[in-house]
Amino acid sequence: MKLLTFASLLITSQFSALNAAPNIGKKVDKIHPKVVEWRHHFHQFPELSNREFATAKYIAKYLTSLGLEVQTGVAKTGVVAILDSGVAGPVVALRADMDGLPVLEQSELAWKSVQRGELDGNDVPVMHACGHDTHIAMLMGAAKILVDLKGQLKGKVKFIFQPAEEGAPRGETGGAEVMVKEGVLKNPDVDVIFGLHISSSTDVGKVRYKEGGTMAAVDPFKIVIKGKQAHGAYPWSSVDPITTAAQIIMSLQTIVSREIKLIDEAAVVTIGSIHGGNRSNIIPSEVELVGTIRTLNAASRKHMYEAIPRKVHGIADSMRAQAEVTLPLGQSYPITFNDIALTEKMLPTLMKSAGRDNVIYSKPVTGAEDFSFFQEKVPGLYMWVGGKPLDVSEDQAPAHHTPEFYVDDSGMKTGVKLLTHLTLDYMHLH
């Protein structure tokens, strides 16, 4: 454990008084059948980003039944609830995302999704293909336990059920960025925020974490190359945007391989879309490239923003073409950065919740998470919770965002424990 320093171990002694508190494990076992019921409901009836109307209504009704102060319509469909202990202390935020994906589920589950939705004017299937159904259910379970333990709390808990983590539909805004702009971290002002993600490739019962940059910043971009159209038989009459594009694509890869200090953190430049021309014997006047940047530290991200236009314009000039760079293109996410001091402070809580041998120091990933918008404003800790059945090997586990995606219900127990313990322990350390 990289962060399991002597100082971290000393913190464990601060939790000794908490061991006398009601047994969280027993409470999690008691609420688990309900958590499973909620998960199956949300999985069977998923909704797309910014369209989580029924999901939000279901959540709000339950939170209201717990006696919580509930706000709806946050960032369009978000739900926020506050638990006030009545005792002075910190404000701890817990976050779960709610949206599904335009994926056609391929499973034999009795509670599989057959839902349809509309995306950019098209009828599409909808599936919880990333586990957000489990995130909602785990946070609802933690809310119930924390309400029951109100007398053990110091401060307030803010439960944040977030829409549109997967990205708002074309022409819309949404997700954590909008929630922050609308003041979700204010009134009361949040001191710290915790979030987690189920993992289909991590064994049930295990928790993965990393301090610092843990998920990448994502910055989409577009390059438009303008040349001069000509007959394909007479290329000397053209300014060829296709050969210019080819040179630009290859050159962009050298930013990562020759300009980024990869021994510190990984970085990625990917071109995912090329459009230009319509016949074999016509050199077109224009080519469009669309791609993404993934970086895990601020220095690499800043360098990418400088290097891409430099490469593009330099090559375009050498080819007598013109180029326009749009960076970022639409919505971009910051680095999901786990506050280093907070991660070290809460590491004993992870071990208490899952068991010392089940807490795994993880490598960063180049996927992205808009939980990062919360972490830009307040210290945050984001973790992965195992959802892979123990009788399934990691290489056979279905990936996230696929029709076969699956995580086991039993993995949610660890998530509920984490959310509950992190709240209690952080409050009693402040």
Cα(139)–Cα(136) distance, integer angstroms: 5
- Confidence at residue 330, expressed as pLDDT on a 0 to 100 scale: 83
> What pTM was estimated for this model as a whole?
0.91
CA–CA distance from 414 to each of 70, 116, 387 (Å)?
26, 31, 10
Question: What CATH topology corresponds to 6-215+335-428?
Answer: Aminopeptidase (3.40.630)
> Catalytic: which of 47, 52, 97, 99?
99
Architecture of domain 217-326: 2-Layer Sandwich (3.30)
Band of residue 331 on the pLDDT scale cut at 50, 70, 90 = confident
Domain boundaries, the chain: 6-215+335-428, 217-326
Cα 157–chain centre separation: 21
Work out the pLDDT band at 6, boundaries 50, 70, 90: very low
For residue range 246-258, list pLDDT tens digits in order.
Answer: 999 999 999 999 9
* Average pLDDT of the segment spanning 51-65: 98
Per-residue pLDDT at 16: 43
Task: Give the mean pLDDT of 157-163.
Answer: 98
Q: Which pLDDT score, from 0 to 100, does residue 1 have?
A: 45
How many Å from the N-terminal Cα to the C-terminal Cα in the chain? 25
Tell me the CA distances in angstroms from 197 to 44, 117, 138, 311, 394, one per residue in order: 19, 24, 10, 37, 17
The one-letter amino acid code at 137 reads: A
Select which of 165, 166, 211, 240 is catalytic: 165
Residue 99 annotated as catalytic: yes
Handedness of CA 157, 162, 165, 171 (dihedral sign): negative
- Give the β-pairing of 91-97 and 192-203: parallel
Which residues, in sequence order, are bridge partners of residue 289? 223, 274
Beta strands in 144-216 (DSSP E): 156-162, 192-203, 207-209, 212-215
Q: Where are the alpha helices (DSSP H) in 101-171?
A: 132-148
Mean pLDDT for the stretch of residues 98-103: 98
Query: Does the active-site annotation cover 165?
Result: yes
Sheet hosting strand 207-209, strand order edge to edge: 69-74, 78-84, 156-162, 91-97, 192-203, 380-388, 207-209, 359-361
Q: Give me 220's structure tokens.
A: 């989409």
Given this chain, do its domains 6-215+335-428 and 217-326 carry the same CATH topology?
no
DSSP string spanning 238-249?
SB-HHHHHHHHH
62-79 residue pLDDT tens: 999 999 999 999 999 999
pLDDT at 17: 40
- Give the span between the Cα atoms of 193 and 69, in whole angstroms: 19
Least confident of 12-26, 139-153, 297-311, 408-422: 12-26
Compute the Cα dihedral for 410, 412, 418, 420 and give only its sign.
Answer: negative
The share of the chain scoring above pLDDT 90, in percent, equals 93
Q: Which pLDDT does position 394 carry in this prediction?
A: 93
Residue 7 has pLDDT above 90, yes or no: no
| pLDDT in the model for residue 22 | 58
